[in-house]
Structure 1
Amino acid sequence: MKTKKSLRVGLVGCGHVAQFAHIPALKRIKQAELASVCDVNSAVAQEIAKRFSIQGFYASLSEMLQDERLDIVDICTPPDTHASLALQAMEAGCHVLVEKPMALNTQESDQMIKASQNLGLKLGIGHNMLLHPLISRAISMVTNGYIGELAGLDIQYLLNRYRGAVARHEHWCHNLHGGIFTNKLPPPISLAMAFLRNLEPVAVQSIKYTDREWLIADDLRVILQGDNGMATITVSTNCPKDIFILDIFGTKRNLHLHLNNAVMYTCGMARYGRCSVVFENFRQGLQILTGTASTALKTALRKHHFGHYALLLGFIESIQNDTEPPITAEEGRESIRLIEKIISQIENDPRYMRG
C-alpha cells in the first residue's frame, strides 16, 4: 500500500489556542509536518518555534508563503483577520483551516467560500467541540434512537470571571461587534446545529449588572427554534471557573455531558418504588466514577483531547482523500448567520449600547 506524503503546514497566530491545542495536535499527526509558524510579534514566533522544534518562524504570512512550500495554512488569529488571511493563503494555493468564528460576518464568509470553490481548495472551520469524544458519542446515541425522540437541548457555557478574556479589558475580543459573545457563542451554536435542523433565534435576553464596562453584557440567554426541537443557550461571565455543560432531552432518556471533565451520564426512564431514588443515584454515580477514571487515564497517557486532534487529522485526510472537511465552510457560515442575528438583538437594545 502506497504511503501518502506528509502535508506541510504553516500556522498563523501563536496565541493560547495555537500553543495548547493546534501545535500539540499537529506534532502528533504523522501525515502532517508543521514546517513554520507566524506571528505579528516575531519574538513570540521565534520562541514558539524553538519550544516546539519547528524549523521556520515569521512575522508575516506573506513572508512565510513566499519562503515556505506549504500545503496547508492553519489560522489561529483573532477573527477580524480570518477572512483576509484565508484569502491570501488560498490565493497562494494553500488549503486553509481557520479557527472559529470563521469570519466577522456572512459577507466575509461568502468571500472565503467563493475563493475556496473557485480555486479548488479545502476550507475547514475549527469547531473542535463537535469532534470532542463525548459529543461524537452523544450524536451516535441520539442518531441510533437511544434517547427516543429528541426533545431539546440545554447548553451552559459558564466563564471564569477572574481570568481570561472576561477579566482582561484589553483582550481583543472586546473590540469585536458583539464583544466577548461573538467569540464565545460559536461552540454552543455549533452544538445546537449538530442536533437540531434549521435553527432560528426566537428569544434573546441579556443583562448588564456589573461595572465591567468592557463587557457588552454580563449574562446572555438565547432560545433557538429548530424543525425538530428547541435549544436554550446560557453564556455567563460571572462564574468562579469555566464550565461547559450540555443536556440532551429525549422521550426515553436524557444525556448529561460535562465537557470540561469529559464525563457523561444518562437519566433513564422513571422507576417507581422505595429503592428507585437510591438505584438511580447509584447508577449515575457509577457512570461519573467510570468516566472520571477513564479521563484521568487518557490524560496520563496524553490521549485526552477536546477535539482539535480529530479536527486537524480529519482536515488533513480530507485533502489526501478529496473528501469534505470535518466541519465545512458552509456549516461555519451558518453559525455566523445565527450569531449575527443574536448579536443584533443585543446591540439594538439601548441599555447595552457602548457609550
Structure 2
Amino acid sequence: MLKVAIVGCGKIADAHASQIQSVKGCEIVGVCDKEPLMARQLYERFPVKRYFGDLTELLSVARPDVVHITTPPDSHFDIARFCLEQGCHVYVEKPVTLYAEEAQILLALANEKGLKLTVGHDDQFSHVARRMRTLVQSGYLGGAPVHMESYYCYELGYGYARALLGDKQHWVRRLPGRLLHNIISHGIARIAEFLTTDAPQVIAYGFVSPFLKKIGERDIVDELRVIICEE
C-alpha cells in the first residue's frame, strides 16, 4: 500500500484527496496544515487516518511514501526540500517554486536522493495533450511544430477570483507575478516540451482590463500575451 500525505488543506486539497482515494493501492495516512482546523475539516470529509498541525510530526508519525504539497506557492520550496530530505517522493502543485533557481535545487536534491519529484501540470495528461504529443512524435503533422498557440483563462466574476479581489492580503497578491504567476505555468507547459532549446527568446505584454480598472484594481495584471521564439 502506497502511503500518501497532503500538506496544505485548502480548496485544491479536496481534488487531491478525491483522486488519491480513487487510486487502488493508495491510502491517505495524514493531512497537515499550519491551521489545525483546516487539517481537521479535510480529515473529517475524506478517509484520512490522522491530521496534523506540524509538518515534522506528520512525517515522523505518519511516515508517508509520497507527499502532495498543496500550500500557497511561496511555501513550496521549503516544504518540498524538507520532504525530500526526509526521503519522501514529492508531488507539488504549480507553480513548483517562485524562482527557477529554487526549482533547480529541488531537482538536484531529488536526483541525489533517488526520489521522484513532479509538478501538478495535470493538463499534460489530458486526452488532448496526449493525442497532440503522439501526432507530433509520429511525424503525422510533418515534423516539429513551427507555430503553436496556448490559451489559459480565469473567470474573474466567481469563486476563487472573487475572493482574491475582495482580499488585499490574499496569498496570490504575495506572488511576484500575482494572479498570472499562479496560472501561467499551465499555458507554458503545453508548449515547453516542444521547444528544442533551454533559452528561447521571450516577449511578453501585460494588460489590466477595464473591469479591474473600474473597481480600482491596478496592481493585478489579468491579461498577458507571451511570444516564445526559437532561432
TM-score range, shorter chain: 0.7 to 0.9
Equivalent residues of 2:179, 2:222 under 8 A apart? no
Flag structure 1 segments of 5+ consecutive residues without an equivalent. 1-5, 228-355
The letter of the residue matching 2:150 is I
Runs of 4+ off more than 6 Å: none
Separation (CA, whole Å) in 2 of partners of 1:194 and 1:33? 32
DSSP-derived class of the 2:151 partner: strand
Equivalences for 1:96-135 in 2 at 5 Å?
96-135=90-129
* TM-score normalised over the length of structure 1: 0.59
Larger radius of gyration: 1
Report the equivalent of 1:16.
11
The letter of the residue matching 1:163 is Y
Report the equivalent of 1:30.
24
1:173-224: CA deviation from partner (whole Å, max 9, x where unpaired): 1210011111110001100113332262432111224324264323111001
The letter of the residue matching 2:24 is K
Separation (CA, whole Å) in 2 of partners of 1:36 and 1:164? 27
DSSP-derived class of the 2:150 partner: strand
1:44-67: CA deviation from partner (whole Å, max 9, x where unpaired): 211111111211111121121121
For residue 165 of structure 1, report the CA deviation from its aligned partner. 4.3
Measured on the aligned residues, the alpha-carbon RMSD in Å equals 1.8
Report the equivalent of 1:203.
203
Number of equivalences: 221
Answer 1 or 2: which has greater strand percent.
1
Equivalent residues of 1:90, 1:119 under 8 A apart? yes
The answer to whether 1:61 aligns with 2:65 is no
Equivalent residues of 1:100, 1:186 under 8 A apart? yes
Separation (CA, whole Å) in 1 of partners of 2:126 and 2:230? 23
Separation (CA, whole Å) in 2 of partners of 1:78 and 1:148? 41
DSSP-derived class of the 1:185 partner: helix
Separation (CA, whole Å) in 2 of partners of 1:222 and 1:130? 19
Separation (CA, whole Å) in 1 of partners of 2:5 and 2:116? 15
For residue 127 of structure 1, report the CA deviation from its aligned partner. 1.3
Tell which has more relative contact order, 1 or 2 (C-alpha 8 A, sep 6+). Answer: 1
Separation (CA, whole Å) in 2 of partners of 1:165 and 1:177? 19
Separation (CA, whole Å) in 1 of partners of 2:218 and 2:65? 39
Identity across the alignment (%): 31
Flag structure 2 segments of 5+ consecutive residues without an equivalent. none
The letter of the residue matching 2:83 is A
Equivalent residues of 2:150, 2:188 under 8 A apart? no
* TM-score normalised over the length of structure 2: 0.88
The letter of the residue matching 1:121 is L
Equivalences for 1:183-202 in 2 at 5 Å?
183-198=182-197, 200-202=200-202
For residue 120 of structure 1, report the CA deviation from its aligned partner. 2.4
The answer to whether 1:82 aligns with 2:76 is yes
Separation (CA, whole Å) in 2 of partners of 1:165 and 1:50? 23
Report the equivalent of 1:47.
41
Equivalent residues of 1:174, 1:214 under 8 A apart? no
